A and B are shown apart, each in its own frame.
Chain A
Amino acid sequence: MVGPAIGPIRRSFAPWNDPGVKPFIEFRHVTKRFGEFVAVDDLSLQIYEREFFALLGPSGCGKTTLMRMLGGFDEPTDGQVLLDGQDLGGIPPYRRPTNMMFQSYALFPHMSVWDNIAFGLRQDGTPKAEIKARVEEMLALVKLEKFARRKPQQLSGGQRQRVALARSLAKKPKVLLLDEPLGALDKKLREETQFELTDLQMKLGMTFLIVTHDQEEAMTVADRIAVMDQGRIVQVATPAEIYEQPNSRYVADFIGDINILEGHLAPAPPGSTRLECAATGANVEVRQETAAPTGGQAWFAIRPEKVRISLDAPTDPSVNAVRGEVWDIGYLGDVSIYHVRLSTGATLKATITNATRLVERPITWEDKVWLTWSHDAGVILTR
């Protein structure tokens, strides 16, 4: 089936930049304590209608607790959770217009696929004919028409995942909550399902909130990502911004592979920043304004794929360049990661795309190489 062209919608969808749009979901100074443990710490967050929003962080960062407070399974110790302008405080989960797809799927083992999907509709007292139509629509959506009479234990993991999805969508919730929805699937199926999820979300025009610890998953599916650490949000931004302009070492390090070098800010012409960096033995120039004062501690972060590696000295004197020796090579098939030891003892990683079949490495162990990068390849971080 050829769906609506989602490209243009995707490209222009950015309600968070429009001050005229009211947030659909709002966490206002929400704190959640379990005894002494602070799971969510004075957190405020705004999510917009039709957004696919991801909460990303390591286990124990409070992302699941945050989602459970929206679903009604946990009540905030302090602060407010609002949905579509309504304060959800004190409303039990069975009266909330949200539905959740559980990490374990939580399918009712004594009910057929059909009855599982119909459960919520029956609970609402929906007329029988309508239930039938809706369940069949859901079964078609997840392509499980043939399995309607099966019990959950007679299905594969991927099929169960789709039943869980159909069940949580059947009541047309205002927000669909997805708790690590693809965690139990193998890598190939997970990647396929990620794209299916985004297509589905566009097609249904619903607001999706996903909790995941898998950064690739968050980046693939989400319009925006909130990176969390110890009950707080560190950064909220689009996947590209998170990757290219992390606001802290924590975010830079959590998402993807990165080189982080420590240094001190040196005087620089306007529109750029210069870092005196002991690790490289040279100053690093970055085209970026930094508010931090000269002399302050800062870090230079650069992704390995943005570092060029070459046997020849750079001809352009303006680029950042350091010398080193190839210490180790990680061959991953599509790319090779070079670990280059600098004369200062620091190690920098650089990746090369293996565009041709690898017969003999042009650059190999113990080669003396030049690492270069342009002024806009990396970022200066002050925390």
Chain B
Amino acid sequence: MAATDTVSPPAKRSGMRWLVVAIPFAWLLIFFLIPFFNVFKISLSTRARALPPYKPVFDLSEGLSGLWSQIQQLSPATYLQLVSDSKYWQAYLSSLQIALISTVLILVVAYPIAYGMARTRAEWRGALVMLVILPFWTSFLIRVYAWIGILGNEGLLNGFLLWTGVIDRPLTILTTNWAVYIGIVYSYLPFMILPLYATLEKMDDTLLEAAADLGCPPIQAFWKITFPLSLPGVIAGCFLVFIPITGEFVIPELLGGSGTMMIGKTLWYEFFNNRNWPLASAVAVVLLLILVVPIVLFQNVLQANEAKK
């Protein structure tokens, strides 16, 4: 019978398939899930003057009963602290607000750049993509540091503005939210440009000719044809920048001032300055939970786009 013939080869193949699926799952388990549960466990612990600076520290030497008593010591106290102390949830809100505003700013700056790239002659496009990627050749930290030299009171920008006579006193940009926004827009721009460029470049120019043919002037055609068709790129780019900006630490730390509240900074402060590992862990867990929402949305959008194809 044909049925018996066909059973064994797919069975063999499914063994291989199992392995192919198992590798990424094992990766996730070892490098994400286990560390995450460790962080989660620390977040339920209590602060201690010890090394590591929390208790209980799980120790299997006391046997299962000892483990049980250790588990009983875990408590959600740190989470209650996160809720009751307004500075934490204000930092979360401030992070989300900064991430949201930055994402919009990045989109506004990146769209014309990506559009211009997609509209240039084909032989130039490769070079332009190269230019967008080029900053990655230098360390992110150094590039953000360089902005201190540009934005400071004695910096290049103020020097230039004073020289041209636009201002007569240096502008205070560094250590304000302005500097943070400038740093974020600069740093995350390529992550928006590249997906936008990818969708715009694929667009069929005859669609615009068809729109013109049917009585649609160029600017209207942009809003009726080009922009809606570039939405997958817009959405991908927005998630791609929004998610990491929310947890951003380096930029607000280097360019922002004491007024800039971002959860990444709070986390760093609790962990290194206060040595409050449980609280820092709880901040990290809640940040992850907040970001799960946009990440899941992003996955859904990606899958919807795949399904369309």
Binding site for B on A (CB under 8 A): 71-73, 92-95, 98-100, 102, 104, 106-110, 119-120, 123-124, 153, 167-168, 171
Contacts and interface: CB of A to CB of B under 8 A. Distances in A.
Given A108-B225, A110-B228, A153-B308, A102 B215 contact: no
Nearest to A97: B215
A102 B214 CA distance: 12
A156 B217 CA distance: 30
Contacts of B214: 94, 99, 119-120, 123, 167, 171
B84 interface: no
A94 B216 contact: yes
Interface in B162-217: 204, 206-207, 209-217
A284 B132 CA distance: 73
Interface in B213-245: 213-217, 220, 225, 228-229
Given A108-B225, A110-B229, A93 B213 contact: yes
B220 to A, nearest CB: 8
Contacts of A107: 210
Contact of B209 (A73, A123, A153): A73
A303 B60 CA distance: 99
Given A109-B229, A110-B229, A153-B308, A94 B207 contact: no
Contacts of A108: 207, 210-211, 225
Contacts of B308: 153
Given A73-B213, A104-B204, 17 more contacts: A93-B209, A93-B213, A94-B214, A94-B217, A100-B210, A102-B206, A104-B206, A106-B206, A106-B207, A106-B210, A107-B210, A108-B225, A119-B211, A119-B216, A123-B214, A123-B216, A123-B220
Contacts of A124: 215
Contacts of B215: 94-95, 120, 123-124, 171
A296 B25 CA distance: 85
A119 B207 CA distance: 12
Nearest to B217: A94
Contacts of A104: 204, 206
A71 B215 CA distance: 11
A108 B215 CA distance: 14
Contacts of A106: 204, 206-207, 209-210
Contacts of B225: 108
Contacts of A123: 214-216, 220
Contacts of B212: 72-73, 92-94
22 contacts: A72-B212, A73-B209, A73-B212, A73-B213, A92-B212, A93-B209, A94-B212, A94-B214, A95-B215, A100-B209, A100-B213, A102-B206, A106-B207, A106-B209, A108-B211, A108-B225, A119-B211, A120-B214, A120-B215, A123-B216, A123-B220, A153-B308
A153 B228 CA distance: 16
B209 A102 contact: yes
Most buried by A among B206, B210, B214: B214
A119 B135 CA distance: 43
Nearest to A109: B229
A71 B225 CA distance: 20
A73 B207 CA distance: 13
Most buried by A among B209, B215, B217, B225: B215
A93 B209 CA distance: 8
Nearest to B225: A108
Contacts of B204: 104, 106
A167 B215 CA distance: 12
A102 B209 CA distance: 9
Given A104-B204, A104-B206, A106-B206, A94 B228 contact: no
A99 B214 CA distance: 7
A90 to B, nearest CB: 15
A171 B212 CA distance: 13
A260 B207 CA distance: 45
A350 B220 CA distance: 59
A71 B216 CA distance: 14
Nearest to A173: B213
Leading 8 A-B pairs by shortest Cβ distance: A120-B214, A106-B210, A123-B215, A93-B212, A106-B206, A94-B212, A100-B213, A110-B228
A106 B212 CA distance: 12
Nearest to A99: B213
A65 to B, nearest CB: 14
B157 to A, nearest CB: 42
Contacts of B228: 110
Contacts of A168: 213
B2 to A, nearest CB: 33
